[in-house]
Chain A
Amino acid sequence: MTYAVQTMVDAVSVGALYAMSALGIGLLFGIMRLINFAQSEFVTVGVYTLMLSAGLWFPFAALLAIVVVVLLALAVERAAFRPVRDADPATLLITSFAVSYLLQYALVLIFGARPIGFDLLPQLGQPVLIGEVRIPRLNIVTIVVTVVLMAAVALFLRRTRIGIEMRAAAVDFRMARLLGVRADRVIAVAFGLSGLLAAVVSVLFAAQTGTASPAMGLQLALVGFVATVIGGMGSLPGAVLGGLAVGAVTVLLQAVLPPDLRVYREAFVYAAVIAVLVLRPQGLFRSAAMRERV
């Protein structure tokens, strides 16, 4: 029973991290059909910023990481993606690979390829005892932060004018522009928002791993991308639910698979993804997402 509860909490917290990655990718995909692999470097740069500011007062370090990553995301949009905005999705994808490699190898050039260890808030590693269940503080923090951030993003998308413009742009960009929605503005805000999500992920991820390495964001971006696909591309609630589902399945497989199969956990996850794509090519939550609205 305790083990089950611990596993559940773990599943939700990993799923929460993936959900935020997926939302960052889903926002950009919805509006500009861009699959932004550089999202992984947004996270990585956030982690390096935290590594460099280790020892500073934590809220300040976290804020610094957010500012750096949001500015990076805006700069990348301006310099790399704006010139190719109207190109076909393949060009956008290749551009995002180029940006991703450029940033990754810039980090290698500056900091070297080896992981650098650092301790971000050691208190987070200590467990909390709830009855007999031991839950790492970090898991609780991850879940709480994700819930708060998702609620804030949902409010932003539902209650503000620019939020409504972004949701409209995500489902039908041309129609939104025909109504006067400024492409430059919604795309810049989408990049800023995905930068914010990446920065928050980087804080939680850095607290979890305690290292900074140049390729560490890749797994998150990949999972984020997969999550948007199975959630139904272009649907933001779908991306979030997809991220939760992939994270939860990953952790549950880890728990239920026989030990000698555990190393193949990812293979099982992706087999499940393929199964979803075969059985529901429109995505797992497409219709549900249409009813729910962010």
Chain B
Amino acid sequence: MSLLAVEGLTVKYGPIPALRDVTLGMAEGETLAVVGANGAGKSTLTLAIAGAVRPFAGRITYDGNPLAGLLPEEVTRRGIALVPEGRHIFEGLTVEENLLLGLTARADQASARGALDDIYAAFPILLERRGGLGTRLSGGEQQQLAIARALLSRPRLLILDEPSLGLAPIMVDRVYAILADLRRRGVTLLLIEQNPGRIGEVADRVIVLANGTVQLSGPAAEVLASERLGAAYLGETRGAA
């Protein structure tokens, strides 16, 4: 059974549709990459799943239950964590305070301290900078903080919106190493990227989004090798790879 099922999802900002009739499914443990140009509707998709924007039409089902009408904080408590585009590190809060907020959605607060220690072990730079302001970190460190913060809620489904955007190549390597590790540990990943360059390293399947609709979808190797990939980016094709 699929962990996440999106059926006929349409989202509008005022009269303008950002997503039109998008359908996709994710199996537990799978990594799905959604790629597309700026304005294709990728971020809207992540926000709709996370409960932060209301769908105009369609259904989102998670673990067999519809997510319709749930507040973002309730969606998070069910095990979906979103690392939004731009990282959104809280201004004025220390690295550790940012991380503590990641524990908010956990059901068992008793294990929280241990979880924080585990995260510090996995992200040594955050331990080193725990008392400093989160916004003072470099872009790559902030991205690590954003991912670590999301992981502290112990998500079954982790959604990452453009985690490599604006990062130096060495930091992109680090981020993708983290993603590969999460994938190995069985976390279901929904990865959004504008540039398909690196997604082949982690993605099982790829969906190309343009103008708010699915243009191309299939196994990662096929989609990324497809000669229709470029056209799909521009919204000039539709169908399977």
Pair B101/A181 contact, Cβ less than 8 Å:
yes
Residues of A within 8 A of B92 (CB): 167, 171, 235, 289-290, 293-294
Q: Which of B71, B98, B101 has the most CB of A within 10 A?
A: B101
Q: Which of chain A's residues has its CB closest to B104's CB?
A: A180
Task: State whether the Cβ of B238 lies closer than 8 Å to any Cβ in chain A.
Answer: no
- In the assembled complex, the CB of B105 is this many whole angstroms from the nearest CB of chain A, namely 3
Among B1-9, B76-84, B177-185, B224-232, the one that faces the other chain is: B76-84
Main secondary structure of the interface of B (DSSP, over half): mixed
Name A's B-contacting residues (CB within 8 A).
161, 164-165, 167-168, 171-172, 174-183, 235, 289-290, 293-294
Residue in A167, A174, A180 whose beta carbon sits within 8 Å of that of B77 in the complex: A180
Bound-complex Cα distance A175 to B91 (A) = 12
CB neighbours of B50 from chain A (8 A) = 178
Given A164-B93, A168-B90, A179:B105 Cβ within 8 A: yes
Known A165-B104, A177-B52, A289-B92; further 17 A-B contacts with Cβ < 8 A: A164-B100, A168-B93, A175-B84, A175-B90, A176-B90, A177-B71, A177-B72, A178-B50, A178-B72, A178-B76, A179-B76, A179-B101, A179-B105, A180-B76, A183-B71, A235-B92, A293-B94
Of A161, A180, A293, the contact of B73 (CB 8 Å cutoff): A180
| Contact status A172-B100, CB under 8 Å | no
A180-B77, A180-B153, A183-B73 are contacts. A175–B100 as well, Cβ < 8 Å? no
Interface string of B130-148 (1 = CB under 8 A from A): 0001010000000000000
Residues of A within 8 A of B73 (CB): 177-178, 180-183
Interface residues of B (CB under 8 A from A): 50, 52, 71-73, 76-77, 81-82, 84, 88, 90-94, 97-98, 100-102, 104-106, 133, 135, 149-150, 153
CA–CA, A277 and B71, complex, Å: 37
Q: Write the nearest CB–CB distance from B233 to chain A, whole angstroms.
A: 28
Contact B105 A167 (CB under 8 A): no
Which residues on A sit within 8 Å (CB–CB) of B72? 174, 177-178
The complex places the Cα of A147 from the Cα of B152 at a distance, in Å, of 36
Q: What are 25 sample pairs from A and B whose C-beta atoms fall under 8 A apart? A: A161-B104, A165-B101, A168-B90, A168-B98, A174-B52, A175-B84, A175-B88, A176-B90, A177-B52, A177-B71, A178-B50, A178-B52, A179-B76, A179-B104, A179-B150, A180-B73, A180-B76, A180-B106, A181-B101, A181-B104, A289-B92, A290-B135, A293-B93, A293-B133, A294-B92
Known: A178-B76, A180-B153, A183-B71. A164 touches B97 (CB 8 A): yes
